[in-house]
C-alpha cells in the first residue's frame, strides 16, 4: 500500500505523506515513491505548483523510520540509506515546478530536511522544527547540515543540531525560513499556489533556475540548462542542425 500519494487538482499537484501511524517517518519504499512522483511531476507541463503535505495530526514528518536503518551495516547505512535519501531529496529540491511545504505539525530530522527541499514553507503556529539525530547517535544525512545551512543562520542551526533545541513557528518566520504562519497552513499554501495562475510558467521556472544557480543548488546543471535554453532559441542552432542533416558546412548567421 502506497504511503505517499500524488493528487492533482486543476493545475496544482499535492504530494501527500500518508503514514500517520508512524508519524509519516520515511521508509525505503517511501523514498522510492517520492522519486517516482517527482519524475511524474517533471513530465507534466500542466502542473503549475506542487504542495507537499502530510496526513495525521501528530507530525508533518518525524524523519526516517529507525527500524528501516538501525540494522544496516555502516557501509549500507552510508550508501543505501544516507546517499540514496540525499539523492532523492535533491530530486525534489530541483523540480522545475514551484514547491510549497505545509508544516501543520512537528517536522523533525528528515521531515525538516524534506520541508527544506521546497521553495517556500507555510507553518502552523503550534508546529515545531528540530534536528534530534544526535539523541539517537547519528547526524543529519539528508541535507540537514548542507541545504539547511543556506536557509538558517549558522548559530541557529548549531542550536538545533548540536544542542537539540527546537525552532518554533514565530522564530522560523522571523529567520525567513517560513514564508507564512497560519492557523490553516494548507489553505494558505493553496492561496499561494493559486497566485501562480497569472504568472508565466516558463518565467517562473527560469527564475527558479537562476536563484538555484546563485545559491549553489545544483549550480552546474542550472547554468548549463539556462545556456542551453538560450542557444536553442537561436538561428545559429537551427542552421547547425539543418547543416548536419544536409551534410553540408553550416553558415551561421550569428543570431
Grid cell locating 100: 510549497
Q: What is the pLDDT of residue 103?
A: 98
Catalytic residue list contains 133: yes
Catalytic residue list contains 29: no
Q: What is the pLDDT of residue 230?
A: 85
What CATH number is given for 4-196 in this structure? 3.90.226.10
Q: What is the pLDDT of residue 217?
A: 86
Query: Which residue would you say has higher pLDDT here, 172 or 81?
Result: 172
Which position among 46, 55, 84, 113 bears the catalytic label? 113
Q: How far apart (Å, rounded) are the C-alpha atoms in residues 35 and 127? A: 26
Mean pLDDT of the chain: 93
Query: Which residue would you say has higher pLDDT here, 143 or 47?
Result: 47
Which position among 84, 133, 154, 224 bears the catalytic label? 133
In a 10 Å sphere around its CB, with 0-12 CB exposed, 13-18 middle and 19+ buried, how is residue 28 labelled? middle
Q: What is the pLDDT of residue 85?
A: 87
State pLDDT tens for residues 215-236.
988 888 888 888 888 888 899 9
Question: Residue 186's pLDDT band (boundaries 50, 70, 90)?
Answer: very high
* Per-domain boundaries in the chain: 4-196, 201-246
Amino acid at each position: 500500500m502506497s504511503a505517499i500519494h500524488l493528487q492533482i487538482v486543476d493545475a496544482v499537484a499535492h504530494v501527500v505523506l500518508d503514514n500517520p501511524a508512524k508519524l509519516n517517518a520515511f521508509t525505503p519504499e517511501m523514498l522510492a515513491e517520492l522519486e517516482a512522483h517527482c519524475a511524474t511531476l517533471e513530465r507534466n507541463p500542466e502542473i503549475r505548483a506542487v504542495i507537499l503535505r502530510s496526513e495525521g495530526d501528530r507530525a508533518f514528518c518525524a524523519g526516517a523510520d529507525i527500524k528501516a536503518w538501525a540494522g544496516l551495516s555502516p557501509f549500507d547505512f552510508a550508501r543505501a540509506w544516507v546517499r540514496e535519501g540525499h539523492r532523492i531529496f535533491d530530486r525534489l529540491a530541483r523540480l522545475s515546478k514551484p514547491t510549497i511545504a505545509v508544516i501543520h505539525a512537528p517536522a523533525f530530522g528528515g521531515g525538516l530536511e524534506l520541508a527544506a527541499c521546497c521553495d517556500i514553507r507555510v507553518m502552523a503556529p503550534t508546529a515545531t522544527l528540530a534536528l534530534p539525530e544526535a539523541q539517537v547517535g547519528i547526524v543529519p544525512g539528508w541535507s540537514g547540515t548542507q541545504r539547511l545551512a543556506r536557509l538558517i543562520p549558522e548559530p541557529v542551526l548549531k542550536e538545533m543540531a548540536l544542542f537539540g533545541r527546537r525552532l518554533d513557528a514565530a522564530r522560523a518566520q522571523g529567520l525567513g525560513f517560513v514564508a507564512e504562519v497560519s492557523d490553516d497552513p494548507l489553505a494558505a499554501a493553496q492561496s499561494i499556489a493559486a497566485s501562480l495562475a497569472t504568472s508565466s510558467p516558463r518565467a517562473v521556472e527560469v527564475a527558479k533556475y537562476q536563484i538555484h544557480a546563485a545559491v549553489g543548488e545544483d549550480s552546474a546543471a542550472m547554468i548549463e540548462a539556462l545556456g542551453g535554453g538560450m542557444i536553442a532559441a537561436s538561428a545559429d542552432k537551427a542552421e547547425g542542425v539543418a547543416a548536419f542533416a544536409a551534410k553540408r558546412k553550416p553558415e551561421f548567421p550569428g543570431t
